[in-house]
Amino acid sequence: MCHLLESICLQDGIFENLSYHQRRMDFSCRKIFNSRAPELSTALHSQNFPSRGLYKIRVIYTHKIEKIEAIPWSIPDILTLKAVYCSDIEYPLKYTDREIINRLFSQREDCDDILIVKNGLITDTSYCNILLRNKERWYTPFQPLLKGTMLTSLIEKGIVIPADIAVQDLHHFQTIKLINAMMRFNGPEIPVSNISL
């Protein structure tokens, strides 16, 4: 059976963006299982989690919650990205099976992470959506591989602008910022010159 995953930020006992995670679970369960999603808030609040510190709450689910675990977390050091090219990659839902992404990650050479390019357009890194800064404005790929909960939140708030961004357009931007549910808007901001094409 197909297993899905949510990674939820727990900061000092408070779950972040829970409604966005529930929305994605609802969509995924309808699409894959033709059923209602488990009630995330109820499942999480029945657990005994630490009340201090930063934790990644990893929820594995099908039409029901299969496993919940709390993993201590800190922002990784990501300073360089290697562009990898794959035109047939699909990752529209957050599956536990990341084989194709792991295969691409193994091509990073001496860089810290990868920047996945699909049909000439940039998409995501191995674990993050990306934002690109042009002066004072932030842009994000119009078609990421997986639209994360933090990215969805930033788009809905009008903080970032979705746009098709080709590899050859990267020089129009100064920095690239990595975001996900754990890093939020505090993820590493890397000079575009640190992307190996």
What are the boundaries of each domain within the chain? Answer: 4-72, 81-196
- For CA atoms 43, 72, 106, 167, the dihedral sign is positive
- Whole-model pTM: value is 0.94
Which portions of the chain are predicted below pLDDT 50? none
CATH 3.20.10.10 assigned to 81-196: yes
pLDDT score recorded for residue 188: 82
Q: 4-72 is classed in which CATH architecture?
A: 2-Layer Sandwich (3.30)
> In this predicted structure, what is the pLDDT of residue 124?
98
Residue tagged 């930033």 (tokens) = 154
What is the pLDDT, as a whole number, of residue 103?
A: 98
pLDDT at 184: 86
Q: What is the pLDDT of residue 138?
A: 97
Instruction: Report the sign of the C-alpha dihedral through residues 59, 64, 66, 68, in that order.
Output: positive
- CA angle at residue 134 from 129 to 184, to 5 degrees? 30
Q: What is the pLDDT of residue 87?
A: 95
Query: How does strand 65-72 pair with strand 175-179?
Result: unpaired
